[in-house]
Amino acid sequence: MSRRAEAAAAAAAVSCVALTVVRAVRRDLPLAEGIPLLVVGLLFVGAGVAASARRPSSASGRLLALTGLAWLLSVALTTFEDRLLFTAGLALFPLGLAPLGHLALVFPARRPSSPLERFLVAAPYLLALLSVPVVGPASCSDCSTRPLGLDVASGVGRLWYSSLLVAVLVAAVGVVVVLARRWQEASPVARRVLLPVVPGAFAFGLAYIAGILAELGLPTGLGEGWAVVALALIGLAPLVFLGGLVRSHLARAGVGQLVVELGEAAPAQGLQEGLARALGDPSLELAYWIPSSARYVTAGGAPVELAAPGAGRSVALIERGGRHVGALLYDSALRDDPGLVDAVAAAAGLAMENERLHAEVLVRLEEVRASRRRIVAAADSARRQVERDLHDGAQQRLVALTLAVGMARARLEGAPDPAVADLLQQASDEARLALEELRDLAQGLHPALLAEAGLGPALESLAERSPAPVELSVSAEGRLPVPVEVAAYYVVSEALANVAKHAQASAVTVRVDREGDRLQVEVGDDGVGGADVRSGSGLEGLADRVAALNGCLEVDSPPGGGTRVRVELPCG
């Protein structure tokens, strides 16, 4: 309703009450019976105006105000002696129930989603009109002479009345079933939103059904008690609805406390929890907009897809200083209170800019890690290719050369020129040494034994070739992921190479253990110490390789105290 319509509804309600009082005083009619209905009517109109002021586009305010005005006008018209006006007054009371059924089915802000719901919305209005010929209080002495008046005790009137009761019963059962299904399927947040309307409407529907069954002559055990219960529920309806509006207003006021909390520089998880608490939606998700990659991510950098229409989730975009910084994903039931959602989103904008930058840093960090992993994988692939090229090319040529020189020496045995024999012997020795060095080089690039037999045998081969004696202990059973095995092998290989070049150690220990999804590698020696992960060193390359796998490397090497290289790698 517009502001003008709200004022008109309030003026009409006051006019109806004034007209009722004036007519009752003029005709000396008792007001005791009409006062409760007048009060309830005023409450409905007040609730409707308040609901409309909170959300003008919602049908809730119009339906509540229509109910109250129908009942107020009903009481006012029944104070007239004119039979036509009196009949209109009697018809307006059941007609006032139709907007309540309508409200229960569409609250908080939805459209009938099936032919059944559309039928149930329209049925109360039609049935209210069809009840005009037979409705009326038993105490009305003039009821038999009303226009269209039918005797409900016999004949056509009885058939009309009974058929009308059956139709009302069917419609009431349908409404109750739909309300029960909505409540059962609703999320906790949606139930909190539905609380001011649906439970009361459901209870009223049950009492109304019991009353219809009693009117049809079926034993319900309630007697006239159903009517008392139904009237009490109707009277409480506007109060409960107003209570829901007050709760919503208090929730908006709580946004101020949220702003104070956000000003304390809470971490991202605390920000999301604070927003969820302010909206009363534990399922709330906070998504940060990353302009560089044009996507939404969580505070931890994981990608987020915005909710699709009809998925039970809604999205509120968050802006700060004219820039889009993120979005709130919340339960669709909260769309009934867009003011609260907007207030929370505005409060979130105060803190989200810093959090968005933090999330963007995490995204960039993950991109760097992924890039580093790709670089390491590419380097390993290149190593393997070089190793294969050396094995299939240069090594085979050296083998062939060694064989050729040997055959030449065999043919020249006993030849008159011993200098030629010496030259051939020297060439054979050099070829053999070159072949050994080439094999060592290929083994260092990418050991075939590691790919074929695994980490344990490859480390045993390293230990056998080490100049210093090595005590090796490997308790990691089975094969590990290839990148982990390669990283662990090169850690041990580089550490043993440093021992041979710099440590002047007399003993080395190598331990490889697997604990759950972590592989721990430790290489220690009793040498001179002083090792450092400095730029350009082999240890720096190891640190990069380990970091690419989200592992960690520690070097403990005090001068004169030996060296301990510890590495931990995820291997799950």
At 282-335, the pLDDT tens digits run: 888 888 887 777 788 877 778 888 876 666 778 888 887 777 878 888 887 777
Answer yes or no: is 401 within a domain: no
Query: Which residues fall within 8 angstroms of residue 467, CB to CB, at 6 or more apart?
Result: 499, 500
Task: Report how far residue 426's alpha carbon sits from residue 422's, in angstroms, rounded to the nearest whole number.
Answer: 6
Query: Is the confidence at residue 143, as pLDDT, over 50?
Result: no
Asked if residue 545 and residue 530 are part of one domain, the reply reads: yes
Task: Report how far residue 330's alpha carbon sits from residue 313's, in angstroms, rounded to the nearest whole number.
Answer: 6
Asked if residue 225 and residue 317 are part of one domain, the reply reads: no
Q: Determine the average pLDDT of the residues in 362-384.
A: 60
Answer yes or no: is 434 within a domain: no
Query: Which residue carries 């226009």 as its tokens?
Result: 147
Contacts 24+ apart (CB under 8 A), 463-470: 463/496, 463/510, 466/496, 466/499, 466/500, 466/508, 467/499, 467/500, 468/496, 468/499, 468/500, 468/503, 468/505, 468/506, 468/507, 468/508, 468/525, 469/506, 469/507, 469/508, 470/496, 470/508, 470/509, 470/510
Query: Which residues fall within 8 angstroms of residue 213, CB to CB, at 6 or more apart?
Result: 169, 220
Answer yes or no: is 448 within a domain: no
- Closest C-alpha to 358, from 319, 307, 306, 301: 301
Query: Is the confidence at residue 146, as pLDDT, over 60?
Result: no
The DSSP-derived string for 353-386 is HHHHHHHHHHHHHHHHHHHHHHHHHHHHHHHHHH
Q: Determine the average pLDDT of the residues in 486-512.
A: 86
Answer yes or no: is 561 within a domain: yes
With residue 519 as reference, give the H or E element that holds it: strand 518-525
Asked if residue 162 and residue 27 are part of one domain, the reply reads: yes
Query: Is the confidence at residue 54, as pLDDT, over 50?
Result: yes
pTM of the model: 0.53
CATH number of the domain within which 545 lies: 3.30.565.10
Confidence of residue 358 (pLDDT cuts 50, 70, 90): low
Asked if residue 169 and residue 97 are part of one domain, the reply reads: yes
Query: Is the confidence at residue 433, as pLDDT, over 50?
Result: yes
Edge-first strand listing for the sheet containing 303-304: 303-304, 295-297, 285-290, 323-331, 313-320
The pLDDT score that the predictor gives to residue 522 is: 93
Answer yes or no: is 384 within a domain: no
Asked if residue 201 and residue 78 are part of one domain, the reply reads: yes
Query: Is the confidence at residue 84, as pLDDT, over 80?
Result: no
Amino acid identity, position 502: H
Amino acid identity, position 93: F
Check: CB of residue 338 under 8 Å from CB of residue 368.
no
Asked if residue 182 and residue 133 are part of one domain, the reply reads: yes
Answer yes or no: is 545 within a domain: yes
Task: Report how far residue 540's alpha carbon sits from residue 570's, in angstroms, rounded to the nearest whole number.
Answer: 19
The pLDDT score that the predictor gives to residue 269 is: 53
The pLDDT score that the predictor gives to residue 65 is: 86
What are the helix (H) ranges across 78-154? Answer: 83-106, 115-130
Asked if residue 316 and residue 220 are part of one domain, the reply reads: no
Q: Specify which of 391-400, 427-436, 474-483 reaches the highest per-range mean pLDDT.
A: 474-483
The pLDDT score that the predictor gives to residue 109 is: 65
Select from 322, 341, 361 the last residue of a domain: 361
The pLDDT score that the predictor gives to residue 138 is: 42
The residues that bridge with 569 in the sheet, in sequence order, are 519
Asked if residue 51 and residue 100 are part of one domain, the reply reads: yes
Q: Determine the average pLDDT of the residues in 470-493.
A: 85
Asked if residue 232 and residue 104 are part of one domain, the reply reads: yes
Asked if residue 210 and residue 109 are part of one domain, the reply reads: yes
**What interhelical angle do 155-185 and 198-215 show, nearest 10?**
150
258 token code pair: 């949220």
What are the helix (H) ranges across 155-197? Answer: 155-185, 188-194
> What does DSSP assign to residue 155?
H
Task: Report how far residue 102's alpha carbon sits from residue 289's, in angstroms, rounded to the nearest whole number.
Answer: 41
Number of domains making up the chain: 3
The pLDDT score that the predictor gives to residue 510 is: 92
Answer yes or no: is 112 within a domain: yes
What are the helix (H) ranges across 446-467? Answer: 448-453, 455-465
Give me the domain span that covers residue 552: 453-570
Confidence of residue 551 (pLDDT cuts 50, 70, 90): confident
In the chain, what percentage of residues exceed pLDDT 90?
4
Asked if residue 350 and residue 284 are part of one domain, the reply reads: yes
Asked if residue 248 and residue 100 are part of one domain, the reply reads: yes
Q: Specify which of 79-88, 291-300, 413-422, 482-491 reaches the highest per-range mean pLDDT.
A: 482-491
Select from 252, 284, 313 the last residue of a domain: 252
Select from 335, 361, 387 the last residue of a domain: 361
Q: Determine the average pLDDT of the residues in 151-161.
A: 76
Answer yes or no: is 345 within a domain: yes
